[in-house]
Structure 1
Amino acid sequence: MPNTAYILINEAELFLKLSQGDESAFESIYRHYVKRLGPFVDRMIRCPELAEEVVQDIFVQLWVNRHLLSDVRQPAAYLFNMASNKTLDYIRKIANNDKLMQKVAGQSSELIYDTEERINYNESLKLIEEATAVLPNQRRLIYILSRNEGLSHEQIADKLNISKSTVKNQLVKALKSIKSYLQEHSTDLCVAVFIIINFKD
Protein backbone atom coordinates (compact mmCIF):
# COMPACT_ATOMS: atom_id res chain seq x y z
CA MET A 1 0.00 0.00 0.00
CA PRO A 2 1.54 3.34 -1.05
CA ASN A 3 2.32 6.06 1.51
CA THR A 4 1.58 3.74 4.41
CA ALA A 5 3.96 3.95 7.37
CA TYR A 6 5.98 0.82 7.91
CA ILE A 7 5.47 -0.22 11.54
CA LEU A 8 7.57 -2.62 13.57
CA ILE A 9 5.72 -4.59 16.24
CA ASN A 10 8.67 -5.89 18.29
CA GLU A 11 11.93 -4.19 17.42
CA ALA A 12 13.98 -5.94 20.10
CA GLU A 13 12.87 -9.32 18.74
CA LEU A 14 13.81 -8.26 15.22
CA PHE A 15 17.26 -7.23 16.42
CA LEU A 16 17.64 -10.64 18.04
CA LYS A 17 16.70 -12.33 14.77
CA LEU A 18 19.08 -10.06 12.88
CA SER A 19 21.89 -11.05 15.26
CA GLN A 20 21.23 -14.63 14.12
CA GLY A 21 21.56 -13.66 10.46
CA ASP A 22 17.87 -13.33 9.57
CA GLU A 23 17.80 -11.31 6.34
CA SER A 24 14.06 -10.66 6.50
CA ALA A 25 14.55 -9.05 9.94
CA PHE A 26 17.26 -6.84 8.46
CA GLU A 27 14.94 -5.84 5.61
CA SER A 28 12.18 -4.94 8.07
CA ILE A 29 14.52 -2.82 10.16
CA TYR A 30 15.90 -1.13 7.06
CA ARG A 31 12.48 -0.30 5.64
CA HIS A 32 11.33 1.11 8.98
CA TYR A 33 14.35 3.26 9.76
CA VAL A 34 15.91 4.38 6.49
CA LYS A 35 13.47 7.29 6.07
CA ARG A 36 13.78 8.28 9.73
CA LEU A 37 17.56 8.31 9.86
CA GLY A 38 17.94 10.27 6.62
CA PRO A 39 16.38 13.54 7.87
CA PHE A 40 18.13 13.15 11.24
CA VAL A 41 21.56 12.92 9.60
CA ASP A 42 20.77 15.64 7.07
CA ARG A 43 19.92 18.08 9.87
CA MET A 44 23.48 17.65 11.14
CA ILE A 45 25.36 17.61 7.82
CA ARG A 46 23.00 19.74 5.69
CA CYS A 47 24.02 17.86 2.57
CA PRO A 48 21.53 15.29 1.20
CA GLU A 49 24.13 13.36 -0.80
CA LEU A 50 26.41 12.91 2.20
CA ALA A 51 23.45 12.15 4.45
CA GLU A 52 22.40 9.33 2.13
CA GLU A 53 25.93 7.95 2.17
CA VAL A 54 26.01 8.08 5.98
CA VAL A 55 22.71 6.22 6.25
CA GLN A 56 23.85 3.50 3.88
CA ASP A 57 27.05 3.09 5.90
CA ILE A 58 24.95 2.73 9.05
CA PHE A 59 23.05 -0.23 7.66
CA VAL A 60 26.19 -1.83 6.24
CA GLN A 61 27.75 -1.60 9.69
CA LEU A 62 24.56 -2.92 11.26
CA TRP A 63 24.70 -6.05 9.12
CA VAL A 64 28.45 -6.59 9.48
CA ASN A 65 28.20 -6.29 13.27
CA ARG A 66 24.87 -8.10 13.60
CA HIS A 67 26.35 -10.59 16.09
CA LEU A 68 26.49 -7.74 18.63
CA LEU A 69 22.76 -7.01 18.50
CA SER A 70 21.28 -9.83 20.55
CA ASP A 71 21.21 -7.77 23.77
CA VAL A 72 19.89 -4.53 22.28
CA ARG A 73 16.70 -3.61 24.11
CA GLN A 74 16.21 -0.13 22.64
CA PRO A 75 16.76 -0.46 18.89
CA ALA A 76 15.74 3.11 18.08
CA ALA A 77 18.23 4.59 20.54
CA TYR A 78 20.90 2.19 19.27
CA LEU A 79 20.39 3.19 15.62
CA PHE A 80 20.21 6.92 16.27
CA ASN A 81 23.35 6.67 18.38
CA MET A 82 25.04 4.91 15.46
CA ALA A 83 23.82 7.70 13.20
CA SER A 84 25.22 10.35 15.53
CA ASN A 85 28.63 8.70 15.74
CA LYS A 86 28.81 8.05 12.01
CA THR A 87 27.78 11.63 11.27
CA LEU A 88 30.48 12.94 13.58
CA ASP A 89 33.01 10.89 11.60
CA TYR A 90 31.77 12.51 8.40
CA ILE A 91 31.94 15.97 9.95
CA ARG A 92 35.57 15.20 10.76
CA LYS A 93 36.10 14.16 7.14
CA ILE A 94 34.44 17.36 5.93
CA ALA A 95 36.59 19.48 8.21
CA ASN A 96 39.73 17.95 6.69
CA ASN A 97 38.60 18.25 3.07
CA ASP A 98 38.26 21.75 1.59
CA LYS A 99 36.20 20.57 -1.38
CA LEU A 100 33.67 18.82 0.86
CA MET A 101 33.59 21.82 3.17
CA GLN A 102 32.80 24.14 0.25
CA LYS A 103 30.14 21.76 -1.05
CA VAL A 104 28.39 21.61 2.30
CA ALA A 105 28.83 25.34 2.84
CA GLY A 106 27.05 26.00 -0.44
CA GLN A 107 23.99 24.11 0.77
CA SER A 108 23.78 25.49 4.29
CA SER A 109 25.48 28.61 5.53
CA GLU A 110 24.35 27.88 9.09
CA LEU A 111 26.51 24.75 9.16
CA ILE A 112 29.64 26.71 8.33
CA TYR A 113 28.88 30.00 10.08
CA ASP A 114 27.81 30.88 13.60
CA THR A 115 26.98 34.59 14.04
CA GLU A 116 28.81 35.16 10.73
CA GLU A 117 32.01 33.47 11.90
CA ARG A 118 33.48 30.32 10.31
CA ILE A 119 33.04 27.29 12.58
CA ASN A 120 36.25 25.37 13.05
CA TYR A 121 35.06 21.78 13.15
CA ASN A 122 38.52 20.43 13.78
CA GLU A 123 38.75 22.50 16.94
CA SER A 124 35.26 21.49 18.06
CA LEU A 125 35.99 17.80 17.62
CA LYS A 126 39.33 18.22 19.33
CA LEU A 127 37.62 19.81 22.34
CA ILE A 128 35.13 16.94 22.58
CA GLU A 129 38.03 14.50 22.53
CA GLU A 130 39.89 16.56 25.15
CA ALA A 131 36.82 16.63 27.39
CA THR A 132 36.57 12.86 27.11
CA ALA A 133 40.29 12.37 27.77
CA VAL A 134 40.20 14.10 31.16
CA LEU A 135 37.48 11.82 32.54
CA PRO A 136 38.51 9.31 35.23
CA ASN A 137 39.71 6.06 33.65
CA GLN A 138 36.67 3.88 34.30
CA ARG A 139 34.22 6.66 33.42
CA ARG A 140 36.04 7.37 30.17
CA LEU A 141 36.08 3.68 29.22
CA ILE A 142 32.36 3.31 29.93
CA TYR A 143 31.60 6.40 27.86
CA ILE A 144 33.69 5.16 24.92
CA LEU A 145 32.14 1.69 25.02
CA SER A 146 28.67 3.22 25.04
CA ARG A 147 29.04 6.08 22.57
CA ASN A 148 31.82 4.92 20.25
CA GLU A 149 31.19 1.18 20.21
CA GLY A 150 27.44 1.26 20.76
CA LEU A 151 27.38 -1.27 23.60
CA SER A 152 24.33 -1.46 25.85
CA HIS A 153 24.52 -0.88 29.60
CA GLU A 154 24.23 -4.62 30.14
CA GLN A 155 27.02 -5.40 27.67
CA ILE A 156 29.32 -2.85 29.31
CA ALA A 157 28.51 -4.20 32.77
CA ASP A 158 29.37 -7.73 31.66
CA LYS A 159 32.52 -6.60 29.86
CA LEU A 160 33.85 -4.65 32.86
CA ASN A 161 32.39 -6.92 35.55
CA ILE A 162 30.43 -4.10 37.20
CA SER A 163 26.73 -3.48 37.84
CA LYS A 164 24.37 -1.92 35.31
CA SER A 165 23.57 0.82 37.82
CA THR A 166 27.27 1.69 37.99
CA VAL A 167 27.40 1.91 34.20
CA LYS A 168 24.37 4.19 34.11
CA ASN A 169 25.64 6.44 36.92
CA GLN A 170 29.09 6.75 35.36
CA LEU A 171 27.58 7.62 31.97
CA VAL A 172 25.43 10.35 33.53
CA LYS A 173 28.51 11.81 35.23
CA ALA A 174 30.53 11.55 32.02
CA LEU A 175 27.90 13.41 30.01
CA LYS A 176 27.67 16.18 32.61
CA SER A 177 31.45 16.52 32.81
CA ILE A 178 31.96 16.67 29.05
CA LYS A 179 29.11 19.12 28.56
CA SER A 180 30.49 21.35 31.31
CA TYR A 181 33.96 21.26 29.73
CA LEU A 182 32.55 22.22 26.33
CA GLN A 183 30.46 25.04 27.78
CA GLU A 184 33.60 26.46 29.34
CA HIS A 185 35.95 26.01 26.38
CA SER A 186 33.91 26.06 23.16
CA THR A 187 31.04 27.51 21.15
CA ASP A 188 27.34 26.82 21.57
CA LEU A 189 27.37 24.79 18.36
CA CYS A 190 29.96 22.39 19.72
CA VAL A 191 27.78 21.86 22.79
CA ALA A 192 24.72 21.37 20.58
CA VAL A 193 26.49 18.72 18.48
CA PHE A 194 27.49 16.92 21.67
CA ILE A 195 23.91 16.99 22.95
CA ILE A 196 22.61 15.57 19.66
CA ILE A 197 25.18 12.80 19.76
CA ASN A 198 24.14 11.86 23.27
CA PHE A 199 20.44 12.61 23.07
CA LYS A 200 19.31 9.12 24.10
CA ASP A 201 20.18 9.77 27.75
Structure 2
Amino acid sequence: MGENQNISELSLLAGVATGNETAFRSLFDRYRGKIYSYALRLSEDTSLADEVVQDVFLKVWLKRKDLPAVENFNAWLYAIARHRMFDMMKQQAREIQTLEAVQLAAPDTGNNAELSLLEKEHQLLLKDALSQLSPRQQHIYHLSRHHGMKHGEIAHTLNISRHTVKTHLVHALRVIRQHITPYINSIILGSWLLENIF
Protein backbone atom coordinates (compact mmCIF):
# COMPACT_ATOMS: atom_id res chain seq x y z
CA MET A 1 0.00 0.00 0.00
CA GLY A 2 2.75 2.41 1.02
CA GLU A 3 4.78 1.43 -2.03
CA ASN A 4 1.83 2.05 -4.33
CA GLN A 5 1.26 5.40 -2.64
CA ASN A 6 4.91 6.29 -3.18
CA ILE A 7 4.83 5.25 -6.83
CA SER A 8 1.66 7.26 -7.35
CA GLU A 9 3.29 10.28 -5.72
CA LEU A 10 6.40 9.95 -7.85
CA SER A 11 4.17 9.77 -10.90
CA LEU A 12 2.31 12.89 -9.84
CA LEU A 13 5.52 14.77 -9.15
CA ALA A 14 6.87 13.80 -12.55
CA GLY A 15 3.67 15.03 -14.15
CA VAL A 16 3.71 18.30 -12.26
CA ALA A 17 7.34 18.82 -13.23
CA THR A 18 6.32 18.78 -16.88
CA GLY A 19 3.54 21.31 -16.27
CA ASN A 20 0.66 18.82 -16.16
CA GLU A 21 -2.16 20.72 -14.46
CA THR A 22 -4.21 17.60 -13.81
CA ALA A 23 -1.31 16.05 -11.91
CA PHE A 24 -0.88 19.28 -9.99
CA ARG A 25 -4.56 19.28 -9.03
CA SER A 26 -4.25 15.71 -7.80
CA LEU A 27 -1.18 16.64 -5.77
CA PHE A 28 -3.02 19.65 -4.36
CA ASP A 29 -6.03 17.54 -3.39
CA ARG A 30 -3.78 14.99 -1.68
CA TYR A 31 -1.83 17.45 0.46
CA ARG A 32 -4.11 20.45 0.85
CA GLY A 33 -5.82 19.11 3.99
CA LYS A 34 -2.54 18.36 5.73
CA ILE A 35 -1.08 21.79 5.08
CA TYR A 36 -4.36 23.47 6.00
CA SER A 37 -4.55 21.60 9.32
CA TYR A 38 -0.92 22.43 10.08
CA ALA A 39 -1.44 26.14 9.37
CA LEU A 40 -4.73 26.24 11.25
CA ARG A 41 -3.17 24.74 14.38
CA LEU A 42 -0.51 27.44 14.37
CA SER A 43 -2.65 30.42 13.35
CA GLU A 44 -6.08 29.53 14.74
CA ASP A 45 -7.46 31.42 11.74
CA THR A 46 -9.21 29.76 8.80
CA SER A 47 -8.62 32.54 6.28
CA LEU A 48 -4.92 32.67 7.14
CA ALA A 49 -4.70 28.87 6.85
CA ASP A 50 -6.30 29.08 3.39
CA GLU A 51 -3.78 31.76 2.45
CA VAL A 52 -0.89 29.54 3.54
CA VAL A 53 -2.23 26.64 1.46
CA GLN A 54 -2.47 28.86 -1.62
CA ASP A 55 1.01 30.31 -1.08
CA VAL A 56 2.58 26.88 -0.51
CA PHE A 57 1.12 25.33 -3.63
CA LEU A 58 1.92 28.39 -5.69
CA LYS A 59 5.52 27.86 -4.60
CA VAL A 60 5.26 24.19 -5.58
CA TRP A 61 4.04 25.17 -9.04
CA LEU A 62 6.73 27.80 -9.49
CA LYS A 63 9.38 25.28 -8.37
CA ARG A 64 7.88 22.37 -10.32
CA LYS A 65 10.99 21.79 -12.42
CA ASP A 66 12.89 21.01 -9.20
CA LEU A 67 10.45 18.29 -8.12
CA PRO A 68 12.26 15.31 -9.70
CA ALA A 69 15.26 16.07 -7.48
CA VAL A 70 13.18 16.19 -4.28
CA GLU A 71 13.84 13.03 -2.28
CA ASN A 72 11.18 13.50 0.39
CA PHE A 73 8.31 15.55 -0.98
CA ASN A 74 6.33 15.49 2.26
CA ALA A 75 9.23 16.95 4.26
CA TRP A 76 9.99 19.44 1.46
CA LEU A 77 6.38 20.61 1.39
CA TYR A 78 6.19 21.06 5.14
CA ALA A 79 9.46 22.99 5.08
CA ILE A 80 7.85 25.44 2.64
CA ALA A 81 4.77 25.66 4.88
CA ARG A 82 6.89 26.28 8.01
CA HIS A 83 8.87 28.98 6.25
CA ARG A 84 5.70 30.66 5.04
CA MET A 85 4.14 30.51 8.51
CA PHE A 86 7.31 32.00 10.01
CA ASP A 87 7.17 34.89 7.52
CA MET A 88 3.49 35.49 8.22
CA MET A 89 4.02 35.46 11.97
CA LYS A 90 6.81 38.03 11.62
CA GLN A 91 4.49 40.13 9.48
CA GLN A 92 1.74 39.75 12.08
CA ALA A 93 4.08 40.91 14.82
CA ARG A 94 5.01 44.01 12.81
CA GLU A 95 1.37 44.80 12.02
CA ILE A 96 0.32 44.33 15.64
CA GLN A 97 3.02 46.76 16.72
CA THR A 98 1.77 49.23 14.14
CA LEU A 99 -1.83 48.73 15.20
CA GLU A 100 -0.97 49.32 18.84
CA ALA A 101 1.37 52.24 18.21
CA VAL A 102 -0.49 54.20 15.55
CA GLN A 103 -3.86 55.74 16.28
CA LEU A 104 -5.99 55.98 13.14
CA ALA A 105 -7.85 59.00 14.44
CA ALA A 106 -7.09 62.33 12.80
CA PRO A 107 -5.05 64.90 14.72
CA ASP A 108 -6.71 67.39 17.07
CA THR A 109 -8.58 69.82 14.86
CA GLY A 110 -9.38 72.69 17.20
CA ASN A 111 -11.34 75.34 15.30
CA ASN A 112 -9.45 74.95 12.07
CA ALA A 113 -11.96 74.40 9.25
CA GLU A 114 -9.44 72.63 7.00
CA LEU A 115 -8.39 70.20 9.72
CA SER A 116 -12.04 69.62 10.59
CA LEU A 117 -12.67 68.60 7.00
CA LEU A 118 -9.68 66.25 7.09
CA GLU A 119 -11.01 64.67 10.26
CA LYS A 120 -14.44 64.10 8.76
CA GLU A 121 -12.95 62.61 5.61
CA HIS A 122 -10.71 60.36 7.67
CA GLN A 123 -13.52 59.22 9.95
CA LEU A 124 -15.73 58.38 6.96
CA LEU A 125 -12.95 56.28 5.43
CA LEU A 126 -12.40 54.50 8.72
CA LYS A 127 -16.13 53.89 9.16
CA ASP A 128 -16.36 52.39 5.68
CA ALA A 129 -13.32 50.21 6.33
CA LEU A 130 -14.68 48.97 9.65
CA SER A 131 -17.99 48.05 8.01
CA GLN A 132 -16.07 45.49 5.94
CA LEU A 133 -14.85 43.62 9.01
CA SER A 134 -16.60 40.59 10.42
CA PRO A 135 -18.71 41.21 13.56
CA ARG A 136 -16.05 39.49 15.69
CA GLN A 137 -13.26 41.61 14.19
CA GLN A 138 -15.29 44.79 14.72
CA HIS A 139 -15.91 43.83 18.35
CA ILE A 140 -12.24 43.06 19.05
CA TYR A 141 -11.10 46.22 17.24
CA HIS A 142 -13.59 48.28 19.26
CA LEU A 143 -12.41 46.78 22.55
CA SER A 144 -8.79 47.46 21.62
CA ARG A 145 -9.11 50.95 20.15
CA HIS A 146 -12.01 52.49 22.04
CA HIS A 147 -11.77 50.74 25.40
CA GLY A 148 -7.98 50.51 25.48
CA MET A 149 -8.07 46.84 26.39
CA LYS A 150 -4.89 44.78 26.09
CA HIS A 151 -4.79 41.52 24.15
CA GLY A 152 -4.93 39.45 27.32
CA GLU A 153 -7.93 41.38 28.61
CA ILE A 154 -9.81 40.94 25.34
CA ALA A 155 -8.92 37.24 25.26
CA HIS A 156 -10.22 36.80 28.81
CA THR A 157 -13.40 38.78 28.12
CA LEU A 158 -14.26 36.85 24.95
CA ASN A 159 -12.90 33.51 26.19
CA ILE A 160 -10.50 33.13 23.27
CA SER A 161 -6.72 32.88 23.04
CA ARG A 162 -4.40 35.89 22.90
CA HIS A 163 -3.17 34.65 19.54
CA THR A 164 -6.73 34.67 18.17
CA VAL A 165 -7.11 38.26 19.37
CA LYS A 166 -3.86 39.21 17.66
CA THR A 167 -4.88 37.45 14.46
CA HIS A 168 -8.22 39.26 14.34
CA LEU A 169 -6.53 42.60 14.93
CA VAL A 170 -4.00 41.89 12.18
CA HIS A 171 -6.80 41.09 9.75
CA ALA A 172 -8.68 44.19 10.84
CA LEU A 173 -5.62 46.32 10.19
CA ARG A 174 -5.11 44.66 6.81
CA VAL A 175 -8.69 45.38 5.73
CA ILE A 176 -8.47 48.96 6.96
CA ARG A 177 -5.18 49.53 5.19
CA GLN A 178 -6.46 48.07 1.93
CA HIS A 179 -9.51 50.30 2.09
CA ILE A 180 -7.82 53.58 2.98
CA THR A 181 -4.54 53.18 1.07
CA PRO A 182 -5.87 54.84 -2.12
CA TYR A 183 -6.82 57.91 -0.05
CA ILE A 184 -4.65 58.01 3.03
CA ASN A 185 -1.51 59.49 1.46
CA SER A 186 -3.33 62.65 0.44
CA ILE A 187 -5.03 62.87 3.85
CA ILE A 188 -1.76 62.44 5.75
CA LEU A 189 0.03 64.90 3.47
CA GLY A 190 -2.76 67.43 3.80
CA SER A 191 -2.80 67.03 7.58
CA TRP A 192 0.98 67.38 7.78
CA LEU A 193 0.95 70.50 5.63
CA LEU A 194 -1.76 72.07 7.74
CA GLU A 195 0.08 71.25 10.97
CA ASN A 196 3.58 72.17 9.83
CA ILE A 197 3.25 74.83 7.16
CA PHE A 198 -0.02 76.74 7.34
**TM-score per shorter chain, which class?**
0.3 to 0.5
TM-score by length of 1: 0.46
TM-score by length of 2: 0.47
Q: Which has the larger radius of gyration?
A: 2
Q: Which has the higher helix share?
A: 2
